[in-house]
Amino acid sequence: MTVTAPVSGLLPALRRSAPVQALASWKGGVAGTFLILVVLGALFAPWLTPYGFDVQNLPGAFQAPNLSHPMGTDEFGRDVLTRILYGARTSLSVSAVAIAISLFCGMVLGASAGYFGGRFDRAVMVVVDLTWAFPEILVALMLVAIIGPGTTGTLVAICVAYLAQFTRLTRAQVMALKSETFVEAARGMGASNAAILFRHLLPNCLGPVLVAGMLATGDAIILEATLGFFGLGAQPPTPSWGGMMSSGSGLLFKGPWIIMFPGLCIALTVVAINMFGDALLHKLDVRERVRTA
Amino acid sequence: MLMEVKELSLSIGKVALLDRVSFSVDRGQVLGLVGESGSGKSLTALALTGLVRRIGGRITGGSIAFDGQELSDLPEPAYRKLRGKRIAFITQNPMSALDALKTIGDQVDQVSRLHLGLSRKAARAHTVDILTRLRIPEAATVARAYPHQLSGGMKQRVVIAMALAADADLIIADEPTTALDVTVQAQIVMILSELVRKRNIGLILITHDMGVVAQICDKVCVLYAGRVAESGPVGQLFDTPRHPYSAALIGCIPRECMAPGALKGIPGTVPSALNYGAECCRFASRCARADALCHTTRPLPHSQGAALVACHHPQGTAAQPEALDV
Amino acid sequence: MLGFAIRRILMLVPVFLAVSVIIFLMIHMLPGDPIDNLLRIGAGPDQRAALTEKYGLDRPLYEQYLYWIGNVVQGDFGNAIVQRRPVASLIGQALPYSLTLGGLALLVSTVLGITVGIIAASFKGSWLDQGLMGGVLFGSMLPNFWIGLLLILVFSVSLGWTPVSGARGWESLILPVVTIGLGGTALVARVTRVAMIDAQGRDFVMLLHAKGVHPVVIQLRHVLRHALIPVVTILALRIGWILGGAVTVEVVFARPGLGSLLIKSLNQHDYPVVQASLLILAMAVLLGTLLGDLLQAAMDPRIRDNLK
């Protein structure tokens, strides 16, 4: 005989309907469609554009947006749209993978801290609070400085920068759920700590934490771009959105389109992620819990 | 009449919560508004103070006359001038009714400064004076204290002081003693009844405690599921309750000389507002005297001695005098 | 209250030391040898050894730390290896710029954010609420540096109203402050709105209405005071955010300041400067939390009494 968590748990609800319902609302629909298009564009970049992302064409440099180059060309005559499509591969995958790792570590850390409490909890929270007080960009800058510029450095930096947030959120959720009757019941039935934690507690706080992860992916894209902008992200010739703006920032007068379009892409993607995340939160009815954490 | 409520009906959204409720109170009188939780007592209080609009309620019929002035359609700015000045409201829980970040004095001063236009200094003197008269020791010190530094009974006296700060003519007290210790309850009840006699004001006391009603009320109005079951002078209601519900409520009061097991409860619960029937007696499902008539026709209030009773088969009448003896 | 303040400041000392150890260790994990930047091409190993000894880089780590922290406490941050000046003077030069920028941005975001939050909460659920919060949220999602560049493009390049970069005159502050302020306003507005809505629903508000107090007075004198407590707490915890924003924005607008100094020194592997800048930023964060605690106690009599 097993005791299961209440069916009103957030994961089943999420799996069953929330993303679908979020897509059905007009905000979520617009945002979701845009995100799908960006991902498809990144995936199928080689087939979508006749140009290579790294083929220089110096005579054709600094072309303003025109029919054959809808977003213009950069200082080496490379097509900006092509570089944005390829750049999406780097920027999106680095941010998403980093957040996924960070989310996993944060959940394990936060759940165990919240569940076991005591000295372990206090130790974890001291470290978490310390990093949380520091702005993500500073934490990331430090780590990139240690590991060295590039994709790996950015990945680790984003991971660590958001770890505190996920740990805090999971911990708060687990602490709230810990004293619920169904957990007491499971314990009464002789379930082990691990079983209670992974079978009963984590599934029930997955919803808000996953949505927080999604929203953080938006922030991570900005962080990745900011590191790229400082020249610390993915190194040339690999295109990334932040990197494109870094090289373009000196050319603000000669070719504003070189930085405006990648920036617009970042902005729209982040806004879309937030809009979709918000629609999800609305459907899950946990907005205040995540937004103010 | 200081306040006369006639056939007052009220809804929140589409749900009708009060159905043609009538009662009145005069100066020097205490009216007890009694009933179980969910009977519409607190809602009535909010309706009388015009605060029901704040929670989305709407008066759908009837009238509230206060000192000859019609209140049911009074615009909010005018109502605001009345509230706190002539009609004072004592809310349910003194523990959370005070602003935790302001001193007691500031909160009581606020009323006299707002409604009587007193200066800061005069208002504070006034406040200390009222607190002293409510037998709060070292009133000047208490005025400088914060709510969390006072006991529940003290806080309730402070809330009463606010009601007195602008010399209100009518006080509406919503369960003023429920959140307090039993010993403190008695003190607060005594303070309130004394105020009515000394200041010749009207008091509407909302309570579910029939013992308190017996102690200080002159008139009682028994509410059941948003309707008046019975209203009349307190003596008659306790001696010869006509409505089976009033009788049952009185039966619920524990008494010293009671034989063990004699204490009665009322079977069933108050129907939810969503299941209120329009054309029936809402007490019928819990009533031993109910018959087919009660389930199909709404009983209209009619005189029984000095009381108004809304029952098809009132007790103590020729029809069935023996049933449900209390 | 004074006792609490002193105790709270004393509690900061161990935290500060812990942070300084972490920063010190992290710096020593940094790749790249600053000595490399100093040596002239063709310099021999004995010259390298001499320089290493001069900067104490050959001594054990704990000795280096104790030496460093001992000097730091006396206000001596050592000498910049690459920039060849006392670190204290480099920081002393940069700090006023960052403080002006950060302070102004904090002021703008607090005032604007609280105003927006109050309006949104007072008309909760209306089109005004949704419009304001939507706009604020949108503004906070755009990358800081991109907004900066966009503003430069519009106001400096196209319209010529403000200087493109640098730190001359108050006009040069407008765009950086707006850039940082956007994100800060969003944060403050969001927190204020939620806190106001929470406070609006409490029992005491109903009694205030029953007293006949005007709703505007209730919102501003009573509800807002309750709402400000969480706002102050979160703002104090997030002072670092505003400083973090300053780092990016200083680089975008080519303004002198702690942020540009930090980035420049990171790129040059100038250990002592990086160490000192981070320590100053960490101190700002810690002071922020201290300020938050003190303000909270000043605002809430219940907390004040708990301290006694």
Picking from A134, A137, A253, the nearest residue to C248 by CB comes out as: A137
Please write down the HEC assignment for all residues of B180-233.
CCHHHHHHHHHHHHHHHHHHCCEEEEEECCHHHHHHHCCEEEEEECCEEEEEEE
**In the structure, what pLDDT confidence band is assigned to residue B119 with cuts at 50, 70 and 90?**
very high
For residue A247, what is the enclosing H or E element? helix A241-248
Residue B322: predicted pLDDT: 45
Chain C contact set for A259 (CB, 8 A): 146, 149
Which of B73-82, B113-122, C35-44 is predicted least confidently?
C35-44
Query: What is the average pLDDT across C90-111?
Result: 88
| Cis peptide preceding A237, ω within 30 of 0 | yes
- In the block, tokens 């070719």 appear at A255
Q: How many helical (H) and strand (E) elements, i.e. helices and strands, does chain A have?
A: 14, 0
Instruction: Please give the residue that has the higher pLDDT: either A124 or B261.
Output: A124
Distances (CA, A) of B241 to B258, B310, B315: 19, 12, 7
Q: Say yes or no: B314 and B175 in one domain.
A: no
Picking from C143, C237, C251, the nearest residue to A133 by CB comes out as: C237
pLDDT tens figures, B42-98: 889 999 998 888 888 889 989 999 998 999 889 999 999 999 899 999 887 888 889
pLDDT tens figures, A196-238: 877 777 777 777 788 888 888 888 998 888 888 888 877 777 7
Examine the pLDDT at C14 and tell me if it is beyond 70. Answer: yes
Query: What is the average pLDDT across A118-133?
Result: 79
For an interface test with C, the pick among A152, A219, A229, A275 (most C C-beta atoms closer than 10 Å) comes out as: A229
Which residues, at least 6 apart from B285, have a Cβ–Cβ distance to it below 8 Å?
B268, B271
Q: Is A293 on the interface with C (CB under 8 A)?
A: no
Query: What is the average pLDDT across A108-114?
Result: 88
Picking from B49, B93, B148, the nearest residue to C210 by CB comes out as: B49
Which of A218-227, C48-57, C135-144 is predicted least confidently?
C48-57
Residue A286: predicted pLDDT: 54
Cβ atoms A209, A9 nearer than 8 A:
no
Output the DSSP codes for A248-278.
HGGGTTT-THHHHHHHHHHHHHHHHHHHHHH
- Judged by CB atoms within 8 Å, which residues 125-164 of B form the interface with C? 146, 148-149, 159, 162
The count of domains in chain B is 2
pLDDT tens figures, A240-276: 888 887 776 667 777 778 788 888 888 889 888 888 8
pLDDT tens figures, C117-131: 999 999 988 899 888
Neighbouring chains to C with at least 3 Cβ pairs closer than 8 Å? A, B
Q: Is B44 on the interface with C (CB under 8 A)?
A: no
Distances (CA, A) of C84 to B246, C6, C71, C273: 94, 38, 18, 10
> Per CATH, which fold does A25-50+69-292 belong to?
MetI-like fold (1.10.3720)
Q: Is A35 on the interface with C (CB under 8 A)?
A: no
Angle between helices C87-122 and C271-299 (to 10 degrees): 40
Question: CA–CA separation, A280 vs C85, rounded Å?
Answer: 54
Which residue type is seen at A162? Y
Q: What is the CATH number of the domain that holds B61?
A: 3.40.50.300
Which of A109-113, C107-111, C152-156, C194-198 is predicted least confidently?
C152-156
pLDDT tens figures, A174-184: 887 777 777 77
What does the domain layout of chain A look like in residue ranges? Answer: 25-50+69-292
Nearest chain B CA: its distance from C118 CA (Å): 18
- Judged by CB atoms within 8 Å, which residues 120-159 of A form the interface with C? 130, 132-138, 141-142, 145-146, 148
Q: Say yes or no: B18 and B110 in one domain.
A: yes
Distances (CA, A) of B35 to A10, B205, B224, B226, B269: 40, 12, 6, 10, 12
Largest pairwise CA distance in chain A: 77
Whole-model pTM over 0.80: no
Report the side by side order of strands in the sheet with B202-207. Answer: B87-90, B170-174, B202-207, B30-34, B219-224, B227-233, B307-309, B302-304
Picking from C26, C30, C145, the nearest residue to A226 by CB comes out as: C145
For an interface test with A, the pick among C129, C137, C146 (most A C-beta atoms closer than 10 Å) comes out as: C146
Q: Is B82 on the interface with C (CB under 8 A)?
A: yes
Chain B contact set for C213 (CB, 8 A): 84, 110, 114
User: Degrees (nearest 5) of the Cα angle A150, A153, A158?
Assistant: 120
Contact across the interface for B91 and C210, Cβ inside 8 Å: yes
Contact across the interface for A288 and C241, Cβ inside 8 Å: no
Which of B10-19, B145-154, C8-17 is predicted least confidently?
C8-17
What does the domain layout of chain C look like in residue ranges? Answer: 2-73, 107-307
Mean pLDDT value across chain A? 78
Which residues, at least 6 apart from C62, have a Cβ–Cβ distance to it below 8 Å?
none
Question: CA–CA separation, B46 vs B58, rounded Å?
Answer: 11
Mean pLDDT value across chain C? 82
Residue B24: predicted pLDDT: 92
Give the residue from B222, B254, B278 where a domain finishes: B222
Query: What is the average pLDDT across B292-299?
Result: 86
Q: How far is CA B12 from the centre of its chain?
A: 20
Residue C246: predicted pLDDT: 77
Examine the pLDDT at B32 and tell me if it is beyond 90. Answer: yes
| % chain B with pLDDT above 70 | 94
Instruction: Please give the residue that has the higher pLDDT: either A165 or C55.
Output: A165
Residue B220: predicted pLDDT: 93
Residue C146: predicted pLDDT: 82
| % chain B with pLDDT above 90 | 38
Picking from C209, C212, C226, the nearest residue to B101 by CB comes out as: C226
What domain range is B46 assigned to? Answer: 3-222
Which of A135-149, B258-272, B289-303 is predicted least confidently?
B258-272
Nearest chain A CA: its distance from C44 CA (Å): 28
Which residue type is seen at A136? E
Domain assignment present for B232: no
pLDDT tens figures, A21-31: 666 677 778 88
CB pairs under 8 A between A and C: 103
**Is the complex ipTM higher than 0.90?**
no
Cβ atoms B82, B115 nearer than 8 A:
no
Examine the pLDDT at A115 and tell me if it is beyond 80. Answer: yes
Examine the pLDDT at B121 and tell me if it is beyond 80. Answer: yes
Chain B residue with minimal CA distance to C302? B148
Question: CA–CA separation, B227 vs B9, rounded Å?
Answer: 9
**In the structure, what pLDDT confidence band is assigned to residue B257 with cuts at 50, 70 and 90?**
low
pLDDT tens figures, B182-240: 888 888 888 889 989 999 999 999 988 888 888 899 999 999 888 999 999 998 888 88
Which residue type is seen at C59? R
Residue C141: predicted pLDDT: 77
Q: Say yes or no: B212 and B247 in one domain.
A: no
Chain C residue with minimal CA distance to A27? C134
Q: Taking the domain C107-307, which CATH number applies? A: 1.10.3720.10
Query: What is the average pLDDT across A91-120?
Result: 89
Ranked by mean pLDDT, the top range of A113-127, B75-89, C292-306 is B75-89
| % chain C with pLDDT above 70 | 91
Instruction: Please give the residue that has the higher pLDDT: either C209 or A172.
Output: C209
Examine the pLDDT at B315 and tell me if it is beyond 60. Answer: yes
**In the structure, what pLDDT confidence band is assigned to residue A192 with cuts at 50, 70 and 90?**
confident
Residue C120: predicted pLDDT: 92
Q: Say yes or no: B130 and B157 in one domain.
A: yes
Contact across the interface for C212 and B81, Cβ inside 8 Å: yes
Mean pLDDT value across chain B? 86
Chain A residue with minimal CA distance to C147? A263
The two three-digit tokens of residue A80, written as one number: 């900006």
pLDDT tens figures, C203-228: 899 999 999 999 999 999 999 999 99
Question: CA–CA separation, B108 vs B284, rounded Å?
Answer: 46
Q: What is the dihedral of CA C131, C132, C138, C143, to 10 degrees?
A: 160
Cβ atoms A99, A220 nearer than 8 A:
yes
Q: Quick one: which of A31, A103, A91 has its CA closest to A278?
A: A31
φ, ψ of residue B217 in degrees (nearest 5): -85, 150
Ranked by mean pLDDT, the top range of A131-135, B30-34, B276-280, C196-200 is B30-34
Residue C183: predicted pLDDT: 79
Cβ atoms A105, A112 nearer than 8 A:
no
